Homo-oligomer: A and B are copies of this chain.
Amino acid sequence: MSDQIKYVLDESRIPKFWYNIAADLPKPPPPVLHPGTHQPIGPADLAPLFPTALIMQEVSTERQIEIPEPVRDVYRQWRPSPLYRARRLEKALETPAKIYYKYEGVSPAGSHKPNTAVAQAFYNKEAGVKKLTTETGAGQWGSALAFAGSVFGLEVKVFMVRVSYNQKPYRRALMETYGATCVPSPSNETQSGKSILAQRADHPGSLGIAISEAVEVAAQNEDTKYSLGSVLNHVLTHQTVIGQEAMAQLDMAGDYPDIIVGCTGGGSNFAGIAFPFIGAQLRGGRKVRVVAVEPSACPSLTRGKYAFDFGDTAHLTPLVKMHTLGSTFTPPGFHAGGLRYHGMAPMVSHLKELGLIEAVAYTQMKCFEAGVQFARTEGIVPAPEAIHAVLGAIDEALRCREEGKSKTILFNLSGHGHFDMQAYIEYFAGNLKDLAYDENELAMALAGLPSVKEAA
């Protein structure tokens, strides 16, 4: 039997630094703009929302950011996470390719999200913050921050997109078990929420709205800060422990990836696996093809416009340049809730513009087919977000079979699907179908992008 192989690192090999790709870029990304003046903002503008340490990381161009020892202490619960060689999957695909996957579902919350949640909770605790607010879609981020809050003794309030809140009571229960409060969004607790509900009392919510609510609460309360689970530079940087460990584990295997695949919603797990390798390439190392996989029903990288836009629906955030479908765009209700965001991390968007990464979009039925094949060969049921990466890796492996090439493929299995089994139930029952966004809605959302005059 050709069995899977696990590559394990000793816990002394948990990275001591996060890798900041800003240090190695051939060209810096565009500045972040004030929503009123359209002028670049400074650290002080972000102070109501984030503690100083995180703001400094957000704008840092230092290559290495030291991971505080208390954060590494908490990482030790599940890190270093395993890297697997998917030999059972390779055999099923009859591919000459070697497929490796980094498995982040071993964390307490079941995904990569605690890598940044723990860091953010630590810095907020250090800054004397008592309470964190955040948004969550599918619930992976909310439960990660709930876990991190319980470790550092911070109150956590999660605005959960209402449709997910109703569909995923188990995710909500997980957050509450960790001691967090979970509120369906739009809610009556904020002006942003109230104004949405006034227009439509049964509004299903969106990540953009939930962000507005969480930001509003943080901005108005002295002891409260806001925490974001993706998109921002410091969040992506925290996730680079994934890629750094994977690099060391592939080194154990005597291997190096030709192709790296990650799924992209806001971009953080993708950045986590890919940035350390892209950075090595930028510093003169080996070239690697990097493929971002997104859902075709919310295709910011493949169909969005690279433009300045708001991160939220109520336009409380600064303007960032990113691949966006427009902040009013509402994707259809496909199952990968973590990939239902109108924008893409500015840093990921910038790399796309620089030609350092590729992007591809998949429909959900083929993704679930890949997810089931993966479960039956590798024994792990992937989250609906992660099956996009699984399919991306399978597609590359099948191309290798056609071309008779034995390439090395690395992908990030960002989380397990234990809280998403309803999606598998619907898939098996034949109730799932491919969903398309409304072309008119996309056109309107793009037409509504803020008009920003860029400096030359």
CA separation between A76 and B419, bound complex, in Å? Answer: 25
Within 8 A of B (CB), among A377-394: 377, 379-381
CA separation between A169 and B3, bound complex, in Å? Answer: 30
| B3 x A74 contact (CB < 8 A) | yes
Chain B CB within 8 A of A421 CB? yes
Q: Which of A93-101, A176-184, A264-272, A306-314 contacts B (4 or more CB under 8 A)?
A: A176-184
Chain A 356-382, CB within 8 Å of chain B: the 1/0 string?
Answer: 000000000000000010011101110
Chain A 313-336, CB within 8 Å of chain B: the 1/0 string?
Answer: 000000000000000000000000
Chain B CB within 8 A of A43 CB? no
| A1 x B424 contact (CB < 8 A) | no
CA separation between A254 and B381, bound complex, in Å? Answer: 37
Chain B CB within 8 A of A173 CB? yes
Closest to A423 in B: B173
CA separation between A372 and B11, bound complex, in Å? Answer: 28
Closest to A108 in B: B379
Chain B CB within 8 A of A283 CB? no
Within 8 A of B (CB), among A58-92: 70, 73-74, 76-77, 84, 88
| A77 x B379 contact (CB < 8 A) | yes
| B8 x A11 contact (CB < 8 A) | yes
| A424 x B173 contact (CB < 8 A) | yes
CA separation between A380 and B174, bound complex, in Å? Answer: 10
CA separation between A372 and B379, bound complex, in Å? Answer: 29
CA separation between A10 and B252, bound complex, in Å? Answer: 14
Closest to A426 in B: B173
| B424 x A177 contact (CB < 8 A) | yes
Q: How many residues of A contact B (CB 8 A)?
A: 43
CA separation between A177 and B424, bound complex, in Å? Answer: 7
| B174 x A421 contact (CB < 8 A) | yes
Q: How far is the CB of A349 from chain B (nearest CB, A)?
A: 34
Chain B CB within 8 A of A6 CB? yes
Partner of A1, one of B70, B169, B179: B70
Instruction: Chain B residues near A11: list those with CB within 8 A.
Output: 6, 8
CA separation between A176 and B379, bound complex, in Å? Answer: 12
| B150 x A376 contact (CB < 8 A) | yes
Partner of A379, one of B1, B147, B379: B147
CB contact under 8 A between A8 and B10, given known A150-B376, A170-B421, A376-B150: yes
Q: How far is the CB of A2 from chain B (nearest CB, A)?
A: 10
Interface centre among A77, A381, A425 (most CB of B within 10 A): A77
Chain B CB within 8 A of A110 CB? yes
Instruction: Chain B residues near A73: list those with CB within 8 A.
Output: 1, 3
Chain B CB within 8 A of A220 CB? no
| B179 x A376 contact (CB < 8 A) | yes
Instruction: Chain B residues near A174: list those with CB within 8 A.
Output: 381, 418, 421
CA separation between A425 and B381, bound complex, in Å? Answer: 23
Instruction: Chain B residues near A77: list those with CB within 8 A.
Output: 4, 6, 84, 379
CA separation between A83 and B169, bound complex, in Å? Answer: 31
Chain B CB within 8 A of A106 CB? yes
Chain A 1-39, CB within 8 Å of chain B: the 1/0 string?
Answer: 101111010110000000000000000000000000000
Q: How far is the CB of A389 from chain B (nearest CB, A)?
A: 17
| B425 x A173 contact (CB < 8 A) | yes
Instruction: Chain B residues near A379: list those with CB within 8 A.
Output: 77, 108, 147, 150-151, 178
Instruction: Chain B residues near A106: list those with CB within 8 A.
Output: 106
Q: How far is the CB of A184 from chain B (nearest CB, A)?
A: 15
A sample of 29 inter-chain contacts (CB < 8 A) reads: A1-B70, A3-B73, A4-B76, A4-B77, A5-B76, A6-B11, A6-B77, A8-B10, A77-B84, A88-B151, A108-B379, A150-B375, A150-B376, A150-B377, A151-B379, A169-B421, A170-B422, A170-B425, A173-B425, A176-B424, A177-B372, A177-B375, A177-B376, A177-B428, A178-B375, A178-B376, A178-B381, A179-B376, A418-B418
The list of the 5 closest CB pairs from A to B, nearest first, reads: A170-B421, A418-B418, A108-B379, A173-B421, A3-B73
